Structure 1
């Protein structure tokens, strides 16, 4: 299952269909419609947050779903599928691949990253996408058993603070040094950037805001219009 599921993503576009919790689009029906529209136009898979949204998308599409559950559990800064019970809910909802924060930041509870990866693979039977911010963390995730690694958290951790994604340098380093598929995610804002990532060795490319971030995009346009002379 691990090989066949990941193989379906190779060389393609994965669309992240998410919306802020305060948005009218943060609704299972709306997210499922986004996902269906994406695959209708050739997306090889989607990335979906929360069990309810994953279940709604699963009912609409047969393409692979990278599932996660964002949960803020202070004081830990880790929020992408932080614990095994979150991963269980994501798997039960119909995700094919489970994404987890694979940085070395303090985690909530007693589970280590290695414990979480092994449990997802062995007990849930799901491949793991390790969301990382640095090459070192990517290599640590691979050593722990991650099936693929993503540049997802570059620019969003203290170690990468002040840097804007995407980092093509990080992507190239991960492709060179990680013996698993490397997925480019974060900051891809144009078709040209997506193509560049693939040309540099990315196994697949995830695009979110530039395609489905209606709230953010409209706000940006409105600000430009309002501030115009």
Structure 2
């Protein structure tokens, strides 16, 4: 009887030890096994965050694309506006050029020999006309009449071939002397040529001519040595 009781006690102790070992093994396994659900949750949060960042990036790209389209349209509109303004300006210049009168003349004294050394002013008449656009220079009187108010350019040349003569001529606007050329002969050879020019602002109807003063002369022949020219720079 006593032996039986001892065996039962020993058996119970053995069972209890085995059970404790099994429980310790399970606790150890549960402690070292990774938390899959926590990792899945973390992974899900990362995916969600990346989706949000991607959505923000797409929105920013869409906004940049929109701004780029706006800027592109603005540039195109400015270019188109500049092109239109350039065409309008070109058209305006063409119209102004078409409406602006064409005025230019050039003439020589021709085969007159010496003219001058009289006791009074003498208007030089340049009868050999090279150019007379607009016909505002009169070869019968030697006078140019301004068809419109504006700025004009005039140039003239005087030749002398006698050492005993003083050569010179004078550009007049109406009755006002503007510029002149002169050469007092002292050389033994006696041939000289002088030239001058002026830019004048004229009113419509103003007259420009070349004159000799007493004591001066000019010379010309078929070589066209003494000339008078002018043209309109721009109207005003």
TM-score bucket (shorter structure): under 0.3
What TM-score do the two structures reach when normalised by structure 2? Answer: 0.19
The structure, 1 or 2, with the larger RCO (C-alpha pairs under 8 Å, 6+ apart) is 2
**Structure with the higher fraction of residues in strand conformation:** 2
